Chains A and B, each alone.
Chain A
Amino acid sequence: MTESFYTWLGIVIYIVVGITVAIFARRKLGFGMNEFFLGNRQIGGFVSALTYAATTYSAFMMVGLAGLTYKLGVGALGFELTYLCGLVLVVFFGPRFWLVGRKFDYLTHAQLLADRYQSRAVGIAATILCLIFLIPYAAIQVMGIGYLLAGVSKGAIPLLVGMIIAIVLAIVWANIAGLRSVAWTDALQALIMLVVSIAAVWYLAYRGFGGFGGFLDKMNKEIPQLLAGPGLFKFNVFFGLALPWIFFSLSNPQVTQRLFIPKSVTAFKQMIGGFLIFGFIYTVVSVLWGFGARLLLPGLEKADLATPLLLAHPTIPRAIAIIVMIGILAAAISTIDSILLTLSSMVARDIYKTGINPKASESLELKIGKVVIPIIAAIFFTFAYWAAGKKGLAFMIVPLSVAASAGLLMVVPAIVGAFFWKRATATGALISMVVGAVLVLILQLTGIKPLGWWPGVWGFIVCIGLYVIVSLLTKAPVQKAEEFIGYLKEELPKRNFI
C-alpha cells in the first residue's frame, strides 16, 4: 500500500464519521431561524465547550502558532495565552449576551447592536465589517488545508484538491442541520484536535529527545535566544498581535453567537470552564510542537512550513503524521463551517430581514440564509485560490489572521457601550466602526505602521475616541437604553452574575 493511499484512507474515514455525526444531529432539528442558527438555544455544556473551542482554534494553532514559535520563540506562547486570558471578557459579557439574547430574541451580535442603538445602519455596518474581515481569515484556513495536505501527502493530494475538500465539507456540515450539525461535528473535531496534538508532542518528545526532560534541556542548550524574555518579539509586535486577540471573544461573530446557545447557566459554566482547560492544553502543546520543529529542523526559510516538514520528519511515525494532519484538517474545517454559518445568519437577519425586507417571513429568511451558505463558501474559496497563487507577499498565516481580528476589533467599543453606557448613540457606534475599519484597512494594505505600532492599535484608539466624542454630541436612544440595561440590572443578580 502506498503512503498516499493511507492519507486518503484517513481523510475518507474522517469525512464518513463527520457526516454520520452531522446526520445524527439532524434528528433533533426543528424549524426556524433560532433552530437552524442557534440550535434553539438548547445546546448542552459539553458540546457548547467543544464547539467554542473548535470554532476558536483553527489551523492557526498547529501551523501558524507553531511557525511563530519556530521563528520568534516563547513570546508566541505569551501572545496566545494573552488571548486565553481575554476570555475573562466572556466571564463579564457572556451572561449579558445570553440574557438579552433570550429576552429580545437576538440571533447575531449585529442584531443586538441594531436593536440596542435603534439603528438598522449600525447592524448592517457591523455585518459588512464581519464579511470584509472574516473572508481573508476563513480563506487562510482553506489555503492552509491545501498546503498541509499537499505537504504531508508529498504532493499526492494537490493544493487545489485539498482546498476543495475543505470547502465542500464546510458547506455540507453547515447545511445538514445548521448549528446542530456544526456544533456536533465541532465537538468531534475538537476531541480529535486535542488528542492527536498531545500524541504528536508525546512522540516528538520521546522519539526526538528521549523524553520531556531531554526536550527541555535541548531547548535550554540550543535555542536560549528564543527563551529569553519574550524571545525575539519586539514589544510593539507583541502588543500589536495580542491586542486584537484579547478582544477576540467579543469581536468575532462566530464566537459571540456561541454565547447565545447554552441551554442553562450550568451549561454556560461548563462551556467556559471546558474551553479554558482545552485552550490551555492546546496552546502549550502547539508551542512545544513549534519548539520541537526548531530543534529538529533548524534553518527553515519559511516558518509556516515547520509543521508540514516536521510531519514528514523520521521522528514522527507516518501513521501519527497522518492522524495529526487529520487533526489540523479538523481544526481548520471546524472554524470554516462556523464562520460560514454565522455569516449566513448575519446576511439573512441583519442585511436581508433588517435592511431590505423587514416583512420577510421566517421561512423566507431561513431560505435566504441557506442559499447564502454556498455563495459565501465560494467567496472563501476564490480568495484562498487567489492568495495561494501569490508569491513573496506577506501571506503568512499569523499577520493575515491578526489583520482580520484588528478589523473586527472596531466593533468592540460599540458592544461594550451597548451594555454599560446609556449615553452611547447610534451615530457614535456607526462612525467609530466605519472610520476605525477603514483606517485599519488603509494601514494594513499600505503597510504603514506609525511610530511602529500595528494597524489594530491605531484603529482601536481612533475608534474609541470617535465612539465617545460622537456619542456625547448626538442623541442617545434613551428608552431602549433604559429597557436594555435596566433588564440586565434586574436579571444579573438573580443568577449571581457579576
Chain B
Amino acid sequence: MGKAFWWWVSWFTFLFILDFSIPFHTLKGVQKVTGSLLFWIIWIVVAIVSMFIIFLRWREETH
C-alpha cells in the first residue's frame, strides 16, 4: 500500500468525521433546508467526486 492509499484513507476518514459531526453540532440550530439537507448533499457530491478521481485512473492491464 503506497502513499496514495493512505492519503485517500485519511481523506475519507475526515469526510466521515464531518458527516457525523457537522449536522449534530454546527447545524443543530439551523431549521431550514439550507442546513443539514444542503450540507449532506454537498458532502456526498464531494465524496463521489473523490471516488471518481480514484477510479478514473484505473486502466486495463499494462504489460
Contacts and interface: CB of A to CB of B under 8 A. Distances in A.
Interface of A: 74-75, 77-78, 81-82, 84-85, 87-88, 91-92, 95, 216, 219-220, 224-225, 227-231, 235, 238-239, 242, 246, 264-266, 268-269, 272-273, 276-277, 280, 284, 420, 494-498
Interface of B: 1-2, 4-5, 8-9, 12, 15-16, 19-20, 23-25, 27-33, 35-37, 40-41, 43-45, 47-48, 50-52, 54-63
A170 B41 CA distance: 34
A77 B37 CA distance: 7
Given A81-B44, A239-B20, A95 B29 contact: no
Given A85-B44, A85-B47, A231 B58 contact: no
Given A494-B61, A494-B63, 12 more contacts: A85-B12, A85-B47, A227-B30, A228-B28, A242-B20, A265-B59, A273-B55, A277-B48, A280-B44, A496-B57, A498-B2, A498-B8
Contacts of A494: 61-63
A75 B22 CA distance: 12
14 contacts: A74-B37, A74-B40, A81-B44, A88-B51, A92-B8, A228-B28, A229-B23, A229-B30, A230-B24, A242-B20, A269-B55, A284-B41, A494-B62, A498-B2
A136 to B, nearest CB: 27
B8 A229 contact: no
A242 B2 CA distance: 29
A88 B30 contact: no
A497 B58 CA distance: 6
Given A231-B36, A239-B20, A224 B60 contact: no
Given A227-B35, A229-B35, A280-B44, A496 B58 contact: yes
Contact of A224 (B31, B55, B56): B31
B60 A229 contact: no
Contacts of A85: 12, 15-16, 19, 43-44, 47
A91 B54 CA distance: 8
Contacts of A92: 5, 8-9
Nearest to A235: B24
B10 to A, nearest CB: 12
B24 A265 contact: no
Contacts of A273: 52, 55
B60 A82 contact: no
B7 to A, nearest CB: 9
A229 B24 contact: yes
Contacts of B59: 265, 495-496
B16 A219 contact: no
Contacts of B4: 498
Contacts of A231: 36
B52 A229 contact: no
Contacts of B45: 280
B35 A268 contact: no
A241 to B, nearest CB: 12
Contacts of A269: 55-56, 58
B37 to A, nearest CB: 5
Given A269-B55, A495-B59, A227 B31 contact: yes
A227 B54 contact: no
A264 B60 contact: yes
Given A82-B19, A95-B58, A77 B32 contact: no
A99 to B, nearest CB: 10
Nearest to B32: A220
Contacts of B51: 87-88, 91, 272, 276
* The 10 nearest A-B residue pairs measured at CB: A224-B31, A229-B28, A228-B31, A81-B44, A85-B47, A230-B23, A498-B5, A78-B40, A74-B36, A216-B33
A268 B24 CA distance: 36
B32 A224 contact: yes
A476 B3 CA distance: 27
Given A91-B55, A495-B60, A219 B36 contact: no
Contacts of B55: 91, 268-269, 272-273
A189 B36 CA distance: 31
Contact of B19 (A78, A264, A276): A78
Contacts of B23: 74-75, 78, 229-230
Nearest to A81: B44
A178 B48 CA distance: 31
A200 B31 CA distance: 26
A229 B36 contact: yes
Contact of A81 (B8, B30, B40, B56): B40
A495 B61 contact: yes
